[in-house]
């Protein structure tokens, strides 16, 4: 894996897994920016989805990992942020292909869906893959056009 800086954020349900993944990322030589939360106290996942994604958009991190109970909430929230392409993954094939084909910049993981070992495999697949471009670039461009259409229509 090419070493880079990764942002990571979680809500209360994902806190323990976030902490475990932070250790593994650091051991693997990645720079890690923790965008919260800092405990298992109940909190709102959209706040932390935005905090992690802002690190990517501001150029502080190349990619982002978001953890909540299912990964779905973080994914929905992250995809509302212009410039973010996020997907919830629970299998290695998908975690790899969201980078290869969709140029995803946020991986969302469900701490109540996958264990720590599989979560690390997902992160490893995501971080070791790069965008293939080609026909996929056209498709990502169409996604960006949808995003821009939504902004221009006042959504």
Domain spanning 5-152, CATH class: alpha beta
Which residue numbers are catalytic? 68, 101
Which pLDDT band holds residue 137 (cuts at 50, 70, 90)?
Answer: confident
pLDDT in tens, 66-121: 999 999 999 999 999 999 999 999 999 999 999 999 899 999 999 999 999 999 99
> Global pTM?
0.93
Q: Where are the domains of the chain?
A: 5-152
Query: What pLDDT is attached to residue 9?
Result: 99
Calpha distance 100→111 (Å, rounded): 24
Secondary structure (DSSP) of the chain:
----EEEEEE-TTTHHHHHHHHHHHHHTT-EEEE-S--SSS---HHHHHHHHHHHHHTTS-SEEEEEESSSHHHHHHHTTSTT--EEE-SSHHHHHHHHHTT---EEEEETTTS-HHHHHHHHHHHHH-----THHHHHHHHHHHHHHHHHHTT-
């Amino acid at each position: 894996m090419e070493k880079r800086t990764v942002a990571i954020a979680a809500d209360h349900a994902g806190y323990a897994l976030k902490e475990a993944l932070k250790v593994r990322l650091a051991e693997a030589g990645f720079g890690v920016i923790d965008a919260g939360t800092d405990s298992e106290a109940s909190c709102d996942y959209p706040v932390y989805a935005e905090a992690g994604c802002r690190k990517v958009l501001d150029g502080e991190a190349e990619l982002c990992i978001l953890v909540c109970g299912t990964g779905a909430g973080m994914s929905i929230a992250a995809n509302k942020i212009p410039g973010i392409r996020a997907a919830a993954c629970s299998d290695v094939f998908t975690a790899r292909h969201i980078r290869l084909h969709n140029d995803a910049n946020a991986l969302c993981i469900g701490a109540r869906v996958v264990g720590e070992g599989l979560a690390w495999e997902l992160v490893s697949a995501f971080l070791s893959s790069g965008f293939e471009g080609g026909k996929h670039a056209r498709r990502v461009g169409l996604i960006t056009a949808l995003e821009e259409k939504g902004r221009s229509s006042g959504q």
